[in-house]
Structure 1
Amino acid sequence: MDWAKKADFDMIFKRYNVIIEGPAIKPEDDPDVKKVLPKDEPFKSLAMAVIFGDAEKAVQAAKSALDSGTPPLDVIEKGLSKGMDAVSALYAKAAYFLPDIMLSADAMTAAMALAEQKLGRAREKKGTVVSFVAEGDPHDIGKNLVVMFLKANGFEAVDLGRDVPDKEVIEAVKKYKPVMLTGTALMTTTMTAFPRVAKALQEQGVSVPVFGCGGGAVKRDFVESYDMGVYGVKAFHAPKLAEAALAGKSWKDIRKEYPKIVGEFVSEYADRM
């Protein structure tokens, strides 16, 4: 028998649930993306280039917008930044992943450099945030995401890297006087750096409005066991926490109002919804 003639090859190499799922939704059709996506040009094209992580198109769109007289700050704030807001929304619902975030961040950075060149200076930063990975911990993906989201939202992010000694963190806080300090840890053996840093800052009379702590090993009850600590649930929450600190909210306020500040339901803070 010639099995090749009788076999139905239509379903070979197809996932069992693809037909049930139907066609994938386009990013620009996502309800949360629609809320932030600009409707007018050239801002829509700028945002779309960032959403699709296309650095070449982002630069082309920025050049076209600037050549037509669009103010450089508008290119950044009304176009590129809106694209990154959309990327954050897609990441929040697990429609985008780490590679998508990195491509989008690269696209925004490339186009923003062109706008800043036209502006004649770097975009004015909202404030400074110092970020680090706990001493003894080599895992820096979470910290890298925090830094990317902060930069995309107009903050100066001082990246101290991974496996950072407590002393270096404290010296950086003294030097940069940040509106927020963020620390990440993937291991239970390294997250103990956070209360040590918080205690050392207090003992030396160094204040920081909020010390956002997160990572795979970290839980809210642990972070709230020491002063200044706020449990950061998601990397893309970091800019909103920093903005809350800029607005004058203390770490105590941010603990109480976390879901309201980040603008969404957060199961880890369900008791404060």
Structure 2
Amino acid sequence: MDLDPSKILIRYNVQMEKAQTPEDMAAEKYPKAEPAKTISKAIFEGEEDDVVEGLKKAVAAGADPIKMIDDVLMPGMKIVTDLYDIGVIFLPNVMMSADAMLAGIEYCKEKSGSAPTPKGKVVCHVAEGDVHDIGKTIVAALLRAAGYEVVDLGRDVPVDEVIAAVKKEKPMMLTGTALMTTTMYAFKEVNDRLLEAGIKVPFQCGGGAVNQDFVVTYELGVYGEEAANAPQMAEMILAGKSLKQLKEHFHMH
């Protein structure tokens, strides 16, 4: 038996990883043209100053700042979320990139004196009694990075406040995160109160304590295992998918 032991039991993706770093994979996706290339790289690296610097140069050369948001910042961020989706980079990277991109959006807004029309509005909150807001912060950042307006109610938000915000803001979607089993029952109450008021807004629920078995017990709930599910869900709602279709797509049967 002259088997080469070095070839046995190597996961195929380990071989790929050796060959290609996340930086290499991102570089392959960068646009070829400047300034988009430099700005995309700065977003990937989470370098806020470099993003703004690149935008300054572009605007000085006559680029329309609002067009820069759609044509350069959004696609630059998509490279990051695509690599996150396939497990090449991790959440801290995504958060840094989102911050860098949002700094770019702020700069473009200032320059143009107007803001791009958001795709839609989402209300985010952490369940009543729960002070762990890292999950919600990530959800809000990813939604903003994908072009949605986010009304962030913060952490430990009383059910009454959630209902009032949904009535006032009329969002396309509501998100709730909970880290503790004791606090996730607030979601059921939010659901019941919304239904009483005749409001059928998709309610994405996630976080450490929350699981699908719990979320399927109430009508408006859609379970989001990952923070990245929030923008995916919003896109599906924009595309006209029903609550039933959302559940079918995101729930493991």
TM exceeding 0.5: yes
2:235 to 222, 234, 243: 243
Superposition map of 1:1-273 within 5 A: 25-30=20-25, 33=26, 37-208=30-201, 210-258=202-250, 269=252, 271=253
Q: CA distance change for structure 1 residues 248 and 34 in 2, over 3 Å: closer, same or farther?
A: farther
What's the CA shift for 1:94?
4.3
Alpha carbons 1:241, 1:254 under 8 Å: kept:
yes
Q: Which moved more, 1:123-132 or 1:87-96?
A: 87-96
What's the CA shift for 1:201?
0.5
What's the CA shift for 1:36?
5.3
What's the CA shift for 1:70?
2.1
Q: Which structure 1 segments of 5+ residues have no match?
A: 1-19, 259-267
Alpha carbons 1:52, 1:104 under 8 Å: kept:
yes
Rg larger in 1 or in 2? 1
Alpha carbons 2:27, 2:41 under 8 Å: kept:
no
Paired residue type of 2:157: V
Alpha carbons 1:36, 1:85 under 8 Å: kept:
no
Q: CA distance change for structure 1 residues 123 and 36 in 2, over 3 Å: closer, same or farther?
A: farther
What's the TM-score once normalised by structure 1's chain length?
A: 0.81
**In 2: Cα distance, 1:22 partner to 1:224 partner:** 38
Paired residue type of 1:71: D
- Aligned residue for 1:235, secondary structure, equals coil
What is the aligned length?
239
Alpha carbons 1:55, 1:111 under 8 Å: kept:
yes
- Aligned residue for 1:81, secondary structure, equals helix
Alpha carbons 1:181, 1:211 under 8 Å: kept:
yes
**In 1: Cα distance, 2:197 partner to 2:70 partner:** 38
**In 2: Cα distance, 1:39 partner to 1:223 partner:** 44
Q: Which structure 2 segments of 5+ residues have no match?
A: 1-14
Identity between Structure 1 and Structure 2 (%):
49
Task: State the superposition RMSD in angstroms.
Answer: 2.1
Alpha carbons 1:195, 1:226 under 8 Å: kept:
yes
**In 2: Cα distance, 1:230 partner to 1:149 partner:** 18
Q: CA distance change for structure 1 residues 212 and 36 in 2, over 3 Å: closer, same or farther?
A: farther
- Aligned residue for 2:240, secondary structure, equals coil
Deviations 1:138-168 (A, max 9, x none): 1111100000000011100111111111110
